A and B are shown apart, each in its own frame.
Chain A
Amino acid sequence: MISIQKLDYYYAVKKQPARCALSDISLQIDPGTLFTLTGPNGGGKSTLFRLLCGLSLPAQGEIRLNGLDLQHHAAEARRLTGVVFQSPALDKHLTLLENFTIHRDLHQLPQALFSSRLEEDMAWTGLAGRLHERVGTLSGGMARRVELVKALLHRPKIVLMDEPTNGLDPGGRRDFLQVIDRLRQERQMTVLMTSHLFDEAERADQVGILHQGTLLAVGSPSQLRDRLGQEMVVIQGKDRQQALFLSQLLEKKPGLSIHHRESELRVEGIDSATLNNLLTDHREQFQTLSVKKPTLEDLFIHLTEQQRGHSS
């Protein structure tokens, strides 16, 4: 279980007040959950990840991993945590086996246990025959798999992964996420991963949306999507001016929520009369009009615009 309570973190800025990177973050992740922390780059995901790894200390707040206070019981907490960093923490001059051996020694694993686990874990990587090759000869996808095997060798109860699919092709991404999900279920691990890709977050049990250091929403993907309620209409204007015209037209209707970006409009709460009016009287102003179910990305856009509205 991962428990985060009222976490604040600030970055020092020269000759200026400290910049808030995380503000009042509280989160409870139940055992066995796959939790994805998503949001745009610069939203605070990596800062929160460093705090969870114990590489940084917060200004205030507390992190507990399986009940252990990370600040005061760091070594015990690290024993039950496996970490996968954005770029693989592997020495390319060393062979796969030599990299694994260092991990064995850092975690003081007995040799027999290490050998049996390594054999078991290398079986699904497809790299079992390359244990004596240098890491530098592996492709990015292979190095990712090796990194995952390394992070799991000590059989952690909690796995933390920072953008683990970064740099992988779509097939590699899919395979990697499938392996994570399977191992998580088999070994009852709690997995927290960060990702700026909303479609990756859709696969999680629970999702947290982090933006400008604030946790905007937490819940299962379906719960979060339901927050937007009804289906939304996406209108692709013929150009920016036409889209702006349509936006101004729709703004006159009460109860509509309109998100305007470039030549695209996303409209929530549109009724059939307004929709008919658009299709009959303003057909020449847009290229396409589609009705779609909201995604996590739509929710993110909705929440950030709401936040902007509150602050202005």
Chain B
Amino acid sequence: MMQAMVALSKRELIRFFRQGHRVVGSVAQPVLFWVLLGSGFSASFQAPGYPGLSYSEYFFPGILLMVVLFSGIFSTITVIEDRNQGLLQGVLVSPAPRMAIVLGKVIGAMAIGLLQALFFMLAIPFLGMDPSFANLLLLLLGLVVAALGFTALGFLIAWNMESTAGFHAIMSVFLLPLWMLSGALFPMEQAPVWLESIMLVNPVSHALVLIRLPLYHSTEVLLANPDYLTAFAIAVAWAMGMLLLALRQIKRPDCSAPAPTS
């Protein structure tokens, strides 16, 4: 299973790096978001509980989340391309376990997002943040768990879509609002009650906690923080749930309709 999984993941990465426009786009978009929104809101922004925090710094965990989420999910668009080009059928008729096919695709797509996130993490010292090595590992773990869950969600949606245009449309009305309502753009405390309720049940909000808190709290404080531990448990459960749903989806064959009753 491992051999098939690694082969399919590696393929995603090779494809990504051979398509220059994808590499440029995936780096340029978050940079533009960060620079433009960071500069635009810096004068008017004040985060409760974080005195003196600039908007660029507040927005930084949101950008990291955006990178792993958007990059991972949009990389699963290759599921649709592969099916249209016949590549997917080629994989499905092989004896490789279905779990290896799901994990191969998801881990490959997730790795693309994580590599970009690692690139963005180089900015951490320049923002005045000084997380310990253990915290950096926890941050990375948070990114992995978040990416896994939402990339599996992308796989699940892509599996049922016939066109890449349809996938983009679904993602624009679904993923973008989820990310916007995660606390990435504005703190939950500043939102009206009705919006806060939505943000509380939004799985992306919990993923953001896993990314934001390791940048500001010591490891000991973090591991004793119920908010962090709850968010971690929810993010892991979400990732497992999405992976299981994706597996169930790929295992379900295209069945004949029942014979009409005469």
Contact = CB atoms under 8 A, between A and B. Distances in A.
B7 A59 contact: no
Given A106-B95, A107-B95, A108-B3, A98 B14 contact: yes
Contact of A93 (B18, B86, B255): B18
B5 to A, nearest CB: 9
A218 interface: no
A87 interface: yes
B15 interface: yes
Interface string B5-23: 0111001001100110000
B4 interface: yes
B259 A18 contact: yes
B259 A59 contact: yes
Which of B4, B15, B93 has the most CB atoms of chain A within a 10 A radius of its CB? B93
Nearest to A94: B14
B89 A78 contact: no
Given A78-B95, A81-B93, A11 B4 contact: no
A82 B250 CA distance: 21
B258 interface: yes
Give the size range of B's interface with the partner. Answer: 20 to 34
A147 to B, nearest CB: 9
A98 to B, nearest CB: 7
B92 interface: yes
A89 B259 contact: no
A104 B95 CA distance: 11
B253 A91 contact: no
A55 B4 contact: no
Contact of B254 (A17, A20, A56, A75): A56
A129 to B, nearest CB: 21
A131 to B, nearest CB: 15
A9 B255 CA distance: 9
Given A8-B259, A56-B253, A86 B86 contact: yes
Interface in A65-115: 75-76, 78-79, 81, 83, 85-94, 98, 101-108
Contacts of A238: none
A53 interface: yes
5 smallest CB-CB distances across A and B, nearest first, come from A89-B90, A105-B7, A17-B260, A12-B257, A106-B94
Interface of B: 3-4, 6-8, 11, 14-15, 18-19, 85-87, 89-97, 253-260
